[in-house]
Amino acid sequence: MIRRFYYITFLIAAVVSITGCGSNNTKPVATASVAKAPELMRPFRFHKLIEVSPGQSYDVLSWGRGSQEAGAFMILHSDSSGIKYTTTTGDLDGKIIDVYNADMDLDGNPEILIETQSKDTISRANIYAYEFNNDNSKANKLDFPKLNNSQRKGYRGDDNFYIRDGKLIREFPIYKGTGKDAKPTGAKRQLQYGLSGNEFTVKQLSKDSVDVADKTAVVVPVKKPENKKSTSKSEKKKSSKLSKKKKHKHRRHSDE
């Protein structure tokens, strides 16, 4: 009986020790690693691949050493089906924010639009635009129009570009005032850019009012009532006496 008791106690102790050892050897749960975007080798700063159609791709890159507000860009057009490759380059003012692809004139030739931002007193945006022909000839540079006086009124940068229905849309907040005293009005201006005859067209979609008219109260002059001269009783008596004397003299002259 005593031997059986010791035997059972020994088994319980062995089981407890085994479970204890197993709990200490628990492996940590493996977490899925997030793939990092490959870093560009210097002097390259920006890269975006745009595939217009199968076999037609455009690699847009910016590069330069030193100042981040100046550099150059290149558009590498790869026609893998025709085994033709062309390069388009240009100077860059500011840094590239994004690149867009469109066919605004619906002629079948893609347009590559490079959005840049230069920081002087405000975050000013610009577009470098090129149209590529299907015959792989030299890219046609398109002059992006500057904001005119009415479009520029209240502009302080912070542009937002995007493609909608094949057109380039531009939005930016409207400010009132100049310099450090400029304050946002809460309104936004929205412009739509198209292409006709290799020239940009601009249409304002939003209706905004930058000038807030000061509501000044119109002061209407109140005419004061004219004070009528009040005649006293004594003055009335004098006037009546004078009139009687005149009548009396007139009668004397008539009797003579």
What local confidence, expressed as pLDDT, does residue 212 receive?
Answer: 43
DSSP string, 122-169: SEEEEEEEEE--TT--PPEEE-PPPP-HHHHTTB-B--EEEEETTEEE
Query: Is the residue at 56 inside a domain?
Result: yes
For residues 7 and 118, the model is more confident at 118
Query: Is the residue at 93 inside a domain?
Result: yes
Distance CA 194, CA 67 (A): 33
What local confidence, expressed as pLDDT, does residue 68 receive?
Answer: 80
Burial tier of 83 (Cβ tally within 10 Å: 0-12, 13-18, 19+): exposed
CATH code of the domain in which 159 resides: 2.40.128.460
Q: Give 147-165 pLDDT, tens digit per residue.
A: 999 998 999 888 999 999 9
Query: Is the residue at 92 inside a domain?
Result: yes
Q: How confident is residue 213, by pLDDT bands cut at 50, 70 and 90? A: very low
Q: Which domain holds residue 71?
A: 44-204
Q: Give 25-56 pLDDT, tens digit per residue.
A: 555 555 566 666 678 888 999 999 999 999 99
pLDDT at 128 over 50: yes
Query: Is the residue at 248 inside a domain?
Result: no
Q: What is the edge-to-edge ordering of all strands in the sheet holding 160-164?
A: 160-164, 167-176, 183-196, 199-204
Query: Is the residue at 55 inside a domain?
Result: yes
Query: Is the residue at 133 inside a domain?
Result: yes
Distance CA 137, CA 246 (A): 117
pLDDT at 227 over 90: no
Query: Is the residue at 69 inside a domain?
Result: yes
Q: How confident is residue 5, by pLDDT bands cut at 50, 70 and 90? A: very low
Query: Is the residue at 12 inside a domain?
Result: no
Question: What's this model's pTM, rounded to 2 decimal places?
Answer: 0.66
Number of domains into which the chain is organized: 1
